[in-house]
Amino acid sequence: MSIYDTLNPTQKEAVFHTEGPVLILAGAGSGKTRVLTHRIAYLIEECQVNPWNILAITFTNKAAGEMRERVDDLVGFGSEHIWVSTFHSTCVRILRRYIDRLGYDNSFTIYDSDDQKSLIKEICKRLQIDTKQFPEKSIMGEISKAKDELVTPSEYELNCVGDYRKSKIAQIYKEYQKQLKANNALDFDDLLFKTVELFQFNPDILEQYQERFQYIMVDEYQDTNTVQFKFVSMLARKYRNLCVVGDDDQSIYKFRGANIFNILNYEKQYPDATVIKLEQNYRSTKNILNAANAVIRHNQERKNKTLWTDNKEGDLIEFHQYNNEYEESGSIVEEIEKIAKELDIPYSDIAILYRTNAQSRVFEEKFVIKNIPYKIIGGVNFYQRKEIKDLISYLKVIHNGQDDLAVKRIINVPKRSIGATSVEKIQEYALGRNISFLDAVFEADQIMSLGKAATKVLGFKELIEQLREKQETMLPSELFTEILETTGYIKELEAEDTEEAKGRIENIDELLNKIVAYEETAENPDLGELLEEIALVADIDGLETDNNNVVLMTLHSAKGLEFPYVFLCGMEDGMFPSYMTIVSEDPTEIEEERRLCYVGITRAKEKLYLSAARKRMIRGQSQFNKVSRFIDEIPKELLKLDHPMDEIEKEPESKLSFGPKHQYRNPYQVNRSVPTKASGLEYTKGDTVSHSKFGPGVVLDIVSGGKDYEVTVQFNRCGVKKMFASFAKLKKI
């Protein structure tokens, strides 16, 4: 029996159609990974394609690992020559070889978001830009958007003439890129941007990779942004054997720059493309799928497809409306306890999904009381913990001395009596001579302003020199152990003798485990490769499947996962869909929220629970919200209700509401008066204003509506907010 006999007819069509552009629209749970791996096997076995001529791109390391494992099992000998990796990993491999053509050293460092933030903070200080008015995260977001759209600092500067805020960001963007290059570092957006730049300026390199990758497959194509589309289309230009797999109904990362039109307009880019729809679902029951189809059908911007399954009908979807979030969390936790005990279901088969991270707190409290094990996905990333970043910075400095941020992080860790003033003096010396911070450290005896502190700085210099010498003969794990012993990092934590210090030591032990695990799988263990692997780890890759915990996560984190039992909570207008999307004049905003709901529903395999609260505390205020419009979009016959549907509180003042009658309020409403449009506003776009709760901010936009002005403000403390002028009572500063 052939391995292809296990595929259904449309899966076979997707596997056997190997030439030219192909769009595979793969619905949730339709076996797209199976199709991709069998397609690779078919190319090699039946079409005699060389394994090294195949490139398969995924979005997460976890997905790449799973695909690599399956490809190895199917193909066997020669499969190691197939490139199966993420966008970022693919670009890193190319840049490690050729980035010197762009004026960088091939041993470049990859900066994470913390590193970016530190560098931008430093630049703002140098440019005398107030980070209260221009928060680092806001600047990072703007620069990331620019890079996603392949906009250089010079182009950004040209585009923002007359816009005060953007002209300041242009200044920062320009200096930021200059400093990154001086540090021989790239941020994550640069990995793609610089690879495209490399191809644009070096046709010979592009041609080399076009010849290398004659068959290209891209998973999760609906999540690609402009620069990713450009990268893939450039590689595929010569042979045009580009197969993209995705589901427009699961495009939920617009906030990260994903462009749904990459998949919706694929046939415009490639008029001769073959479109194949995978609509048979192998994951969920009929009732769950019918609910998902009913909800997503309300979107306009989508390819027409309907999921179906041969699975059983399954239980009805349960919907419960509770008085408040505490009652909601308490009832859900009790139901989970009941499922686990009475049905003998492992906790790891159960997931609670929500729209925002803040919703996890009330569930955590209930789980602790009930002594039920749980795990929150999307909390603090292991690699973002202080002790881990400290020790990785040591490794970075040993590997790449041009990384100023890493040097500054560890120069006084553990404490060496090298204070902030000494660091500033070293920085001034480095800037004055146009050398790296570490080079300045090595010339500390020449920095007269350091005085006695020069001795301490030279002690740090000697430490780095010793560790660099030892790197030549040591494995990364041996070098790591040497760092711990030479610096006394562990001894300092042991001296603290606190629970927090013990936890940090456990984290350091886990990092050593990671390094040893890397060495066991690497052909030639290399410090640069180890740092690269660490830098490319995604949050969701941290989900351990062998622990028996109830999983709590946001809907965005849940994409790509599945659970037998799913609780989707907070199903209220204003919570999900969010208030900002409800008031937005852009209809695509609510469509993105609906796709998020579709993703949530289709995570469930056997049983789905939906819930809402009549009253919920948000930003310190009680809000009364009606049931989510997405509940209304599910056919009544698919729902099992705790009250008849006509009694469910869909409107703010239904007969089921408790206490005094109330009005549906937006999060920024401070009284119950109906908004009346002011004759004019004292402020305009670009002005700095103050809000009684959110503090100072800059007006980004003013839209004149029917009854009021809708004002968009970038607040220093809490980011971008949209609000009605009469409610906001903004004052010009």
Ranges of beta strands (E only) in 126-194 are 185-187
| Backbone φ, ψ for residue 369 (5° rounding) | -60, -40
Structure tokens that stand for 522 in this block: 């690497």
Burial 580-604 (b: 16+ CB within 10 A, else e): bbebbeeeebbbbbbbbbbbbbbbb
Contacts for 331-334: CB closer than 8 Å, 24+ residues apart: 331/611, 332/363, 332/366, 332/567, 332/569, 332/609, 332/611, 333/363, 333/366, 333/367, 333/370, 333/372, 334/370
Residues 6+ apart with CB under 8 A from 558: 351, 353, 599, 600, 603
Shortest CA distance to 605 belongs to which of 246, 219, 287, 280?
287
Active site residue 250: yes
Q: Are 329 and 363 in contact (CB under 8 A)?
A: yes
Query: What is the C-alpha separation between 51 and 66, in angstroms, rounded?
Result: 18
Distance CA 363, CA 105 (A): 49
How far is 576 from 359, CA to CA, in rounded Å?
A: 12
Catalytic-role residue among 12, 13, 18, 33: 33
| 181 labelled catalytic | no
Q: What angle do CA 252, 258, 263 make, to 5 degrees?
A: 90
**Which residue matches tokens 């919703």?**
359
32 is catalytic: yes
d(CA 331, CA 560): 27
Cα separations (Å) of 431 from 277, 426, 471?
A: 58, 9, 29
Q: Kind of pairing, strands 621-624 and 604-618?
A: antiparallel
Which of 11, 250, 321, 581 is catalytic? The answer is: 250
Token readout for 87 is: 């966008």
- Specify burial of residue 548 (Cβ count, 10 A radius: 0-12, 13-18, 19+): exposed
Q: Which two tokens mark 109?
A: 């460092």
Helix (H, G, I), strand (E, B) or coil at 568: strand
Between helix 476-487 and helix 499-521 the angle, nearest 10°, is 150
Catalytic-residue membership of 219: yes
Active-site entry in 220, 248, 328, 573: 220
* Residue tagged 């907010």 (tokens): 721
Residue of 70, 302, 603, 721 marked catalytic: 603
Say whether 33 is catalytic. Answer: yes
Instruction: Give me the amino acid identity at 121.
Output: K
CA-wise closest residue to 716 among 733, 731, 696: 696
In sequence order, what DSSP letters do the residues of 649-707 get, joined into one string? --STT-TT--SS------TT--S-PPP---S--S--TT-EEEETTTEEEEEEEEEE-SS
Q: How far apart are the first and last CA of the chain?
A: 76
513 alpha carbon, distance to own chain's centre: 25
Among 10, 11, 32, 649, the one annotated catalytic: 32
Count of CB atoms situated within 10 Å of the CB of 222:
24
Peptide bond into 577 cis (omega under 30): yes
Tokens of 606: 């056997």
Contact criterion met (CB below 8 Å) for 307 and 289 = yes
Beta bridge partner(s), residue 711: 702, 723
- Can you give the C-alpha Rg of the chain in angstroms? 28
CA 569 to chain centre: 22
Q: Are 487 and 414 in contact (CB under 8 A)?
A: yes
Structure tokens at 68: 């690599």
Among residues 219, 247, 532, 573, the one annotated as catalytic is 219
Enzyme catalytic residues: 32-33, 219-220, 250, 603
